[in-house]
Structure 1
């Protein structure tokens, strides 16, 4: 009887350790392709400061509610849109993936014709506050790089207050 009880306990321990091993060996869950962590409103249209932003014409950033709806799969307009100009004219690039915080913006999208577009930028919250107070000016608010099919270009964008 004792040996049976011992065997049952040993089998139970082995079964539990096998479960723990399987969980440890399992690949980590995939991260969501869309994420935002914004404590402030950074919405607006951003336009290049001076010359030298390459083919980046503008970047639209939606409001927090738009990001939340997009991430929940509720559709609606994309909360992040790049407007580029290339050999075939103007193109609008919507995100295949993005990560945006109060300080950074990263986006990957597909240009018409299948080209990969990547944007990485740093957001200057102080410059954004100044630009909003002044209803837009030429202060760089977002700086970074954008690459289209591997061709990388630096950019500086200001918050655009409209006409």
Structure 2
């Protein structure tokens, strides 16, 4: 009888661990995934001017350690930060979920006003290598779209080398 109780308790603990949620938004840890063989970290800014109610100001991508810490439950330094300007001003969007690979980036979060924000984009490794060699190069490295409050925002971001 004692073995049966121990087995049931152990099984419940395993199931509870599988359903564990992280952080204030109660997002399951499995909502975060990265698989990067190269360093894509840096700040990316628009190539050209944006138009519309919402505008992407920048996208920050952290180093591998930031992704690993976030996926392990640490929430002090987000590995992705999308900065938007909209009707209510500037908003920093941190991830509710992401999937980042060498070639693709999918990311979702919430703007300051609570609006859902999603990003689906392609990372061009060749353009990134060129941008690193040629500081200030305006070659688009990340292309795709963001969506805020149902509005699609085309993305064409170059790696920013600083002022």
TM bracket, shorter-chain basis: 0.7 to 0.9
Q: How far apart in 2 are the matches of 1:93 and 1:80?
A: 8
Higher gyration radius (CA): 1
The answer to whether the Cα contact below 8 Å between 2:58 and 2:84 also exists between their aligned partners in 1 is: yes
Shift of 1:57: 0.5
SS in structure 2 at match of 1:108 = strand
Gaps (5+ residues) in structure 2?
Answer: 1-18, 20-27
| Equivalent pairs, count | 135
TM-score by length of 1: 0.79
- Runs of 4+ aligned structure 1 residues displaced above 4 Å come to none
How far 1:75 sits from its partner (Å)? 2.8
Aligned Cα root-mean-square deviation (Å): 1.6
Equivalent position SS for 1:138:
coil
Structure 1: where are the runs of 5+ without partners?
1-28
Partner of 2:126, secondary structure, is: helix
In the alignment, which residue of structure 2 is the partner of 1:7? Answer: none
SS in 2 for 1:57: strand
The TM-score, its normalising length taken from structure 2, stands at 0.79
- Which residue is 1:93 aligned to? 93
The C-alpha deviation readout for 1:22-76, integer Å capped at 9, x for no partner, is xxxxxxx988110000000000000000113651000000000110011001232
Q: Secondary structure at the match of 2:30?
A: coil
How far apart are the structure 1 equivalents of 2:112 and 2:76?
A: 20
